[in-house]
Amino acid sequence: MKKIVCLLVVTCLCQFTVMAQQKTPFKDGEKLTFTASYKMSGFMTQLAQLTMETDKVKTTNNTLYHFKCRASTYKKFDAFFKIRDVYESYVSTTSLLPYLYRRDIQEGGYKKKMKYVYNQRNKTVKSTQTKRRGDGTDWVQQKDFSISNGAMDVVSTFYNLRNLPIENARIGDTKTFKILFDRQETPVTIKFVGKETINAANLGSKECYKLEVITSGDFLKSGTLWLTADANKIPVQAKFTIPIGSGMLQLTNATGIAN
């Protein structure tokens, strides 16, 4: 499931301006729900549900956006390969740069946690990785590392993608993000390839920006993402190919949208 979440995310290379919109395309209370399908025996089979939620939290010094993504297999597939994954990012409401990232994955018998604490001024991250051993005990590893300007985790990257002024892009324009995953930076380039009308669940049929996902990372061979061509830029569909097969994400419900 971490590969599916990575798909949804994606330093400027061409005509995408780096200036963020004055009004973000999401707000406190937004909730997006998707089905995750995987190609089995030649057919797309719905295996899991993915939710993405936005809320605001107050700290002693700041008000932050809290982005939370959860992925769970449907109960009938739990016996085959149970997935209960949670990804969270806390970001500035103005710059959208992250302060804190947490990942808690439970996939079959595999359990792992990752935590990043960002120092945006110094471009460093303090990370804590926790893995569950076969005997039930935890192995904790801490590591500090430097990051490039603008490098972010997968969750905050995805919301920054939505905040780009894609309406100003021309076909062929690209934007490259540096995504932090397992304490390594992976470049992911998003290419604007046009518009298509897509079924957007309770939102009806929507004209969408069609974006090609290009990466040299080992978790994704190819991918395509559709965002509504309006002020909300809601992801409505994603198709992807990974080394072990192909799959799709499809929006099933969107509530609390900003515009």
Domain holding 205, by residue range, is 2-253
Burial of 130 (0-12, 13-18, 19+ CB in 10 A): middle
Q: Is 213 contained in some domain?
A: yes
Number of domains forming the structure of the chain: 1
Assess contact for 45 and 73: CB atoms under 8 A: no
Q: Is 225 contained in some domain?
A: yes
Q: Is 79 contained in some domain?
A: yes
Q: Is 258 contained in some domain?
A: no
Q: Is 259 contained in some domain?
A: no
The pLDDT-based confidence of 217 (bands split at 50, 70, 90) is low
Mean pLDDT for the chain overall: 89
Q: Is 178 contained in some domain?
A: yes
Q: Is 170 contained in some domain?
A: yes
Residues in contact with 238: Cβ distance below 8 Å, sequence separation at least 6, in sequence order = 7, 8, 223, 224, 225, 226, 248, 249
pLDDT in tens, 79-131: 989 999 999 999 999 999 999 999 999 999 899 999 999 999 999 999 999 99
DSSP code at position 257:
-
Does the pTM surpass 0.75? The reply is: yes
Pairwise pLDDT comparison (79 vs 241), residue with the higher score: 79
Q: Is 239 contained in some domain?
A: yes
Position 44 scores a pLDDT of 82
Pairwise pLDDT comparison (3 vs 148), residue with the higher score: 148
The residue-averaged pLDDT of 151-178 equals 96
45 three-state secondary structure: strand
